[in-house]
Amino acid sequence: MSTRILKISLLLIIAFNLSCNTNEAKLEQFKYADQKETITCNTGYDAILKEALYTFESDIINKYDPKQKNKLRAYRAYISNYISNRTALQETVSPHTKAVFDVLKSKKTLWNGKQLNYSSPEVTCIIDNLNDKNLKQTIQSLLSVNSMSSDLFAAPLRSSTAYSRDAYLATFVALDLYYSKLHDIDFSKVDLTANTPKPEPIDFNKTPAKTPLKVKEPINNNIDHTGHNHN
């Protein structure tokens, strides 16, 4: 290969890489950077996947259990509503979710059209690291016959709570049952600010509990010396 052709080839490769990079969205704010780490798949954007998981959990807690903030209860409610086709995502997605989704959407290998790309390196890593052997085997069996879908995957989740202990499974749930479905939302018609978690109201009429003061015992200087010999 001549030097001229080699230079042209290198320039084309650089231009292609730059083009790919400029097409990828960037997340301006990481709200959960200080939270416990989730998955390690060396995707180049594991931090985004971590942010995506915590954002998903925040959304479903805000939607399904805003008072008690029980994560497991929120998961169960979301999965049940997903199976029944009653998730009402327009009433669940927050502005931060949209920002995270824009970044995920720009990761072309992650998607097969509007569906999660189950054969992508990112998703393959997540599946390979699932702790629940039964769910892992179910997914791999469905993949082996080219029948994997989010609807088939959701059904066995109804009788499982493994996602509460396994960050890989929780991430898979978030990607497959939540973010992939955001492709169908017309965000121009959704008021995302209405779904922002509200701060707990302060009840100014509630009297704070008072800690009883410890009364210091007075020193008794009038000691009875009767019966003592002071000679």
The per-residue pLDDT for 222 is 53
DSSP string covering the chain: --HHHHHHHHHHHHHHHHHHHHTS---S--SSTTSPP------S-HHHHHHHHHHHHHHHHHHH-TTT--HHHHHHHHHHHHHTT---GGGT--HHHHHHHHHHHT-GGGEETTEE-TTSHHHHHHHHT-S-HHHHHHHHHHHHTT---HHHHHHHHTT--GGGT-HHHHHHHHHHHTGGGGGG--GGG--GGGGSPPPPPP-TTSPPPPPPPPPPPPP------TT----
The per-residue pLDDT for 65 is 96
The per-residue pLDDT for 15 is 41
Extents of the domains making up the chain: 45-185
The per-residue pLDDT for 11 is 46
The per-residue pLDDT for 229 is 52
Average confidence (pLDDT) per 10 residues, the chain, 231 residues: 53 44 81 97 97 98 96 97 96 96 97 96 97 94 95 92 96 98 95 79 50 51 50 48
